[in-house]
Every structure is written in C-alpha cells, then in structure tokens.
Structure 1
Amino acid sequence: MSQRPKLGAIAVVISEGHVLLARRRNPPDAGLWGYPGGHVEFGETALAAAARELKEETGIVATPVDYVTNIDVIGRDAEGGPSLHYLLAAVRCDYVGGSPIPADDVAEAAWFPFERVRSGDIPMSERVAEVMDQAIALRR
C-alpha cells in the first residue's frame, strides 16, 4: 500500500476552567466541535504546528508545552476500506492571549466549561472530553 497516514497536530488549550474548541467547517468532522489543528509541515515539530494552527484558525496565542496523546482518525469507504487516515498529536498549550475568532476552516471557536464538554450535549469529534481530561491531569 503506497498511501500513508498524514500527521496532524491539535491544540488543547485550557484556561480558568474552560477549554477552547473549534467547530469544523470541512470534512472530516464538518459541523462537529473539536480542537483547533491541522497538518504538520515538513521540518516542523507537532508542538510548533499545534501553536501555528491554533493562531491561524482561532486567533488565540498559546505556548505548546507537551504531548497529551496520539489519536488515529481513520475514515472508511462504502466497502469498509480506509478512505483517510490521520495521526493527530494532541498538544497541551498554555493560553497566552487573544479572543476566539474563527478563520481558515473553522466555522466557530469558543471557550467551553469543562462540565459542558463532559456532558456530551454539544456535537463533538471523538475523544474530545477524554483528551481534555488527560490534559487537565498533566497540568497538576
């Protein structure tokens, strides 16, 4: 198989009991809330990519601190074969400044209280609450 997974980075930004989420405009996960992020460029670390994508997509400035986890996102075609494959490096970032303003492929960006994310009452990508809780545990 000549196809390979694409590497992406997502920024997990936590501040004052809230987490920053972005609602995706484009597939995969169009219409769902998740972490801002995107492709890692050749020669760029996933830490740097998370901070860059965060600023490009939301206007938020944050300092990348450490890795939280890795997430495989594998889409399936009608026959059940893989149609897309991303390996996302979830990066915990310390909030520096800015207000969420959606840009690029983000339709909306906003801060959500931890409990609202855990409640599952907003349409989210897979593992958003789990990754948030892992990032919170790393801060302690």
Structure 2
Amino acid sequence: MDDRAYPTRPFLAVSAAVIQDSKVLIVRRGGTFGRGVYTLPGGVVEAGETLTQAVIREVREETGIAIEPVALAGYREMIQRDEAGKISRHFVIVCFAARWIGGEPVPEPSEIDEVAWRRPEELDGLKTTAGLREIIADAMQKL
C-alpha cells in the first residue's frame, strides 16, 4: 500500500533544477504516480534530513549524479483529487537550483523512464509538471 495515497497531511518533497552548460537535467516519471510526465528529479524528505541532504540524496538515487545545491528556486504545491473530489495526493515541493558535480545520468528503473540534459526550449510540446519552465528559468538566473 502506498502511504502517500489519500494522505491525512501534505508530504514535504524536494527537487533540483540541475544546470550544466545551459541545459537542465530532466526526468520522465515511470512509476505508477506521474507516469510519462517530464519533471525535475526529486522526492520526499525523510525524517532527520535537511532539505539540502534530501535533494542531494534524491537526485543521486533517481539519476546517479552528484550535485551541489546553490539556492532555492521556488516551490510548488501538488494537490491531486480523485473522481469523487477526495484528495488522493498532496505534496509541497521545495525546488533548488543546483550545479552538476559529476557522474553520468542513468534512470533509476523503478521510478524513472528517461533522464536527459535538455535546453529549456526543448520542453515545448512535452507533458510537464505545472510551473516547470518557471522553476528552470529561476534556477538558471540564480546560477
């Protein structure tokens, strides 16, 4: 059973707009939640982790790369409702602007179908998470 489905409270999550050579690291979700959606790598903060520790860990787990979080690049709230209007998912996502330190991106197969460096304009026409372009623009400006 997915403890994040039909939550009694929001879950705190992190993501990273990892920038290298004017490109951002984009993943396509492959798990049951968000399948086929292009977004930033990230996930839920674990008890005892700082936001910075969580984003470093999540990006490493999902893509295999090492990053340096530099600044906050905004936040997003993701609230999803089922057909009856009941809240089925609720995440508050703190987004970081980050630099690539090392490693070649490889998708973690249980959660990610694809991982690639893309220029922001290459996202046009793709199904992305809400506000993705704005977060990327803010991250690029801060780096």
Q: Is the Cα–Cα contact under 8 Å of residues 102 and 109 in structure 1 kept in the other structure? A: yes
Q: Which residue, out of 112, 120, 134, partners 1:114?
A: 120
Within 5 Å, which residues of 2 pair with 1:1-140? Answer: 3-103=8-108, 104-117=110-123, 120-139=124-143
Q: RMSD in angstroms over aligned alpha carbons? A: 1.4
Give the C-alpha shift of residue 77 in structure 1: 1.3
Could you report, residue by residue, the CA deviation over 1:39-72 in whole angstroms, capped at 9, with x for unpaired residues? 1011111121111110111011111112111110
Deviation by residue 1:108-137 (Cα, 9 ceiling, x = unmatched) = 1000012213xx222212111111001112
Alignment length (residue pairs)? 136
Gaps of 5+ in 2: 1-6
Structure 1: gaps (5+ residues) = none
Percent of residue pairs bearing the same amino acid type: 33
TM-score (norm 1): 0.91
CA distance in 1, matches of 2:28, 2:34: 9
Q: How far apart are residue 19 of structure 1 and its match?
A: 0.4
Structure 2 residue identity aligned to 1:4: R
Contact 1:23 1:30 in 2 (8 A): yes
CA contact (8 A) 2:98 2:139 kept: no
2:48 partner SS? coil
Kept after mapping to 1: 8 A contact 2:24/2:118: yes
Q: Which runs of 4+ in 1 moved over 2 A?
A: none
Within 1, Cα distance between the matches of 2:93 and 2:32? 15
**Which secondary structure state, in structure 2, belongs to the residue aligned with residue 9 of structure 1?**
strand
**1:110 is matched by which residue type in structure 2?**
A
Tell me how far 1:27 sits from its aligned partner.
3.9
